[in-house]
Amino acid sequence: MPNSSTSILIIYTGGTIGMKENPETGALAPFNFDQILNEVPELRKFGFNIDTISFNPLVDSSDITPEFWIELAKIIQEGYYKYNGFVILHGTDTMSYSASALSFMLKNLHKPVVFTGSQLPIGKLRTDGKDNLISAIEIAAATSNGQSLVPEVTVFFENQLFRGNRTTKYNSEHFNAFRSNSYPALAQAGISIKYNYTHIGYPTQHHDFTISTHFSNNVAVLTLFPGITPAIVDSVLSTPDVKAVILHSYGSGNGPSSEWFIERIKNAVDKGILIFNVTQCKAGGVNMSKYDNGLLLKKVGVIGGKDITFEAAVVKLMFLVGKNLTFVELKKQVQESISGEISN
């Protein structure tokens, strides 16, 4: 149970949630988040300390870059021992990417980091932002015997708490914008918040909290579609300095069996480019041994992404390539879970 000494930090980065109608123009504009207690007076009822910090400038999340993730991680590092939990208000468009990034960057995390946002601005009558914010704060503050109930990087949206690196933005209009198709929800908010303890990741070691801040942009995505041409494949695989490519494949990790295609993939692997097979399907995963077409990819050295989401896969490649690993080590680590983003 939280008590009066509980302290939560809300980090407002931008996005729809923090907008309010300008009474003169009728247009939506970000409001001064220091005034959040005036906008959402219900927050006073928590009876504990809530601090806020706002990014300057505020960003539409489609402008987010790795530098932004680093800034976020540093804010959490600075406040790590002062606060019991963190709530990050973030645009929904790239929330799954940012939650994945933070889940990889924050090492030995023992406190909740809850991302949320909204489909309607907090200043609108029918906003989903208030409920999302209030529940996210409650989750960030929730403890039992002094231990945080959800010491993970998560996404809370429309009654459900998900592991952040398992989420995907699924709907651009409905309030339930996110899904986690390959991992169960960590909590459901109804009359009370019911936690799914068996699926929450609890730290097994007690090392000090640190952050890892190296990302590389030398990754690319090759999305397959019927009729893809050698020129398109070449343009991706011969991107200067590219070190890792997501092969955004069909079904359980299949692609064309044509000689020209397999040969190009093989040449890329032989040059030391990691080819990471991630399915275009929204659920299930990659199993390259299921069909002959998948097996051809496996035989030339493509690595299967199992049930990882596209968003987590992109960020994971950026994160691991940023570590300057050897090719052998990169291939090994990409298949292992860093923070529960991929099943063993």
Q: Give the footprint of ligand ASP on this chain (CB under 6 A).
A: 14-16, 60-62, 91-93, 117
User: Longest C-alpha distance within the chain, in Å?
Assistant: 67
Query: Least Å distance between CB 138 and ligand ASP?
Result: 21
Pairing of strands 106-107, 7-12: unpaired
Task: Identify the active-site residue in 13, 16, 94, 116.
Answer: 16
Whether 341 and 165 have beta carbons less than 8 Å apart is answered as: yes
Name every residue whose Cβ is closer than 8 Å to that of residue 53 and which is 6 or more positions away in sequence. 9, 10, 11, 12, 75
16 counts as catalytic: yes
Nearer CB in complex with ligand ASP: 175/327: 175
Query: Least Å distance between CB 61 and ligand ASP?
Result: 3
Nearer CB in complex with ligand ASP: 92/127: 92
Nearer CB in complex with ligand ASP: 92/168: 92
Tell the residue number behind the tokens 């123009």, with chain if given. 25
Query: Least Å distance between CB 238 and ligand ASP?
Result: 32
Query: Least Å distance between CB 59 and ligand ASP?
Result: 7
Torsion over CA of 188, 100, 328 and 201, rounded to 10 degrees? -30
Query: Least Å distance between CB 133 and ligand ASP?
Result: 13
Tell me the β-bridge partners of 28. 21
Whether 122 and 133 have beta carbons less than 8 Å apart is answered as: yes
Query: Least Å distance between CB 93 and ligand ASP?
Result: 3
Nearer CB in complex with ligand ASP: 14/66: 14
Would you call 183 helix, strand, or coil by DSSP?
Answer: coil
CB environment 54-78: b (16+ within 10 A), e (fewer): bbeebbebeebebebbbebbebbee
Nearer CB in complex with ligand ASP: 32/343: 32
Query: Whole-angstrom Cα distance, residue 2 to residue 12?
Result: 22
Return the residue nearest ligand ASP (CB atom). 91
Residue 52: which of 2, 17, 3 has the closest Cα? Answer: 17
Q: What angle do CA 204, 189, 310 make, to 5 degrees?
A: 65
DSSP class of residue 62? G
Whether 247 and 255 have beta carbons less than 8 Å apart is answered as: yes
Nearer CB in complex with ligand ASP: 58/297: 58
Q: Which residues are catalytic?
A: 16
